[in-house]
Amino acid sequence: ACKGRSSFSQTGIVCRITRPAILVLNQETTKLIQKAFQRATYPDIKGERVILFLGKVNYGLYNIQISNLSISSSQAELKKDKSINIAIQNVSVIFKGTLQYEYKGGWLLAVHQSVDFEIGTSLDLQINTQLACDGGRVQADTSDCFLSFHKLHLNLHGEKQPGWIEQLFTDFISFTLKLILKGQVCKEISVLANIMATFVQDKAANFLTDGDISVDISLTRPPVIKDSYLESHHKGFLTYKNQSSGFQDSSYTPNMLGDSRMLYFWFSEKVLSSLAKAAFLDKRLMLTLTGNEFKALLENKGLDTTQDILQEIFQGSFRDSQVVVRSLVAPVITCKPEGTIVKSSVGVEIQLLHPDQASTVAFSFEEDVVTVIQASYEEKKLILDLSDFQIQHKSSRSFSTLSTSQESIQDFLKTLTIMVGIPVIISWLEPALTTLLNSKGLDLFDIINPEIITKEGYLVLQMDFGFPQHLLEDFLQTII
Ligand SMILES: CCc1cc(Oc2ccnc(N(Cc3cccc(OC(F)(F)C(F)F)c3)C[C@@H](O)C(F)(F)F)n2)ccc1Cl
């Protein structure tokens, strides 16, 4: 994935992160930069110089460590078709270590000194991050990384040291130290950036996997960076029991998403349909009600449970029976401005339970159902509203003679499907999907005013968010 031509045609999902989101995410940049400084290792700096009147002096700065680090502020901005530029001001660091030097004094005199030092520095950092695609995964390239030093000041402990040390530090050591700092800190930043990219990729992949069902989120092209947003394009193919099924979808265009909300997710209806298909194949689209639950549902919809037809089907007792509702085919999902349209064929079986005998089917019927659903997400719960429906009676079979006429049976079943069938399926789906999303940790995110919008052929999730502290803590744990 990703090598060569940009294949819009394979894109099933697009994630767009806009400038307002970058500003929120930037709040935590300083923590990551601190981590980079702390992780960096600072090698010893050794050398020898000929010093006037002293001859050849061997010196070395050993065990250089950070003793104090503070960062004042950072800015992040998007550079169209180029990079995410992060500028960090006034990083002030204090390094400590031991300076050792020796030289041959007069003909016998050899001087060997070791003195603790502190080096105070203050610098600015500029990281121009480019996003690329590497084997279908997001890769962050932070090689365009540089430091500019405001000050570099050596402070030697103990009694007054000879002036030539200060000179040596100013002329030479500070130059070497700057090189080392730039090399080590920029290397750590690159390491952290790629650990972060991997972390998000893996978290995202986990988010879109449940049991044998998963969505292939490999990139179909390198992430795109514009002035007001950046976005990644993903296949969105379904993988069920390791069988991947693709689709051709060339419908995404950038103007389908805005840039006023922080986060946008674009889903092709084909992705939704293939998820429904996987759920069907995975035998998830069925639910069983006890006779009493069914009776209670009828009652709270005001249906008369004593009418003949029910008495005949249930043979007088709801108690020893159960109602199995299931999808007979993979539902087909399409998106329209009115909502998400779900076309499916529903089978209902009324089974009589006999003590220590197999249950028998007393009655069964099938209906072709088309429903228009509007989804929303409030208080960390998914809400599915039925905005329209169509029912086509397909067939019904009774395993005992019914006195009621075929005509009125069909009417009754239609009413049953409308009044009970569809509502019970929706009120089962809502918590089931909410539970699934929360099992992935969605409820941990601070999602602000999420909107679920359907248009011709696609669905858009758009939202603002509070910084996912839990995610950063998770991430910082993964890096020692
Ligand atoms: C879970 C959201 C999601 C991630 C996808 O895959 C990836 C893979 C790599 N990077 C991304 N980015 C988008 C993104 C935005 C918000 C959250 C998020 O994941 C997460 F942080 F919530 C994770 F913990 F689940 C991922 C980033 C990509 O757009 C960029 F910026 F790197 F180019 N998405 C594909 C679809 C969906 Cl719905």
* ipTM score: 0.98
- Supply the DSSP string of 234-276, one letter for each residue: E--EEEETTEEE--------GGGS-SSSSEEEEEEHHHHHHHH
User: Which atom of ligand 1 has the smallest separation from the CA of 445?
Assistant: 22
pLDDT in tens, 175-184: 999 999 999 9
User: Which atom of ligand 1 has the smallest separation from the CA of 267?
Assistant: 38
Output 5 or 248, whichever has higher pLDDT.
Answer: 248
Which residue's CA lies nearest to atom 30 of ligand 1? Answer: 232
Least confident of 206-210, 257-261, 342-346, 355-359: 355-359
pLDDT in tens, 84-93: 999 999 999 9
CB-based contact 257:453 (threshold 8 Å):
no
Confidence of residue 307 (pLDDT cuts 50, 70, 90): confident
Output 384 or 109, whichever has higher pLDDT.
Answer: 384
| Any atom of ligand 1 within 6 Å of the Cβ of 467 | no
Task: Report the amino acid identity of residue 341.
Answer: I
CA count, 13 A, side-chain hemisphere, 245: 13
CB-based contact 361:349 (threshold 8 Å):
yes
Phi, psi (deg, nearest 5) at residue 177? -60, -40
Confidence of residue 255 (pLDDT cuts 50, 70, 90): very high
Which residue's CA lies nearest to atom 22 of ligand 1? Answer: 204
| Any atom of ligand 1 within 6 Å of the Cβ of 223 | yes
Cα separation, 163 vs 185, whole angstroms = 31
Instruction: Say whether pLDDT at 5 is over 80.
Output: no
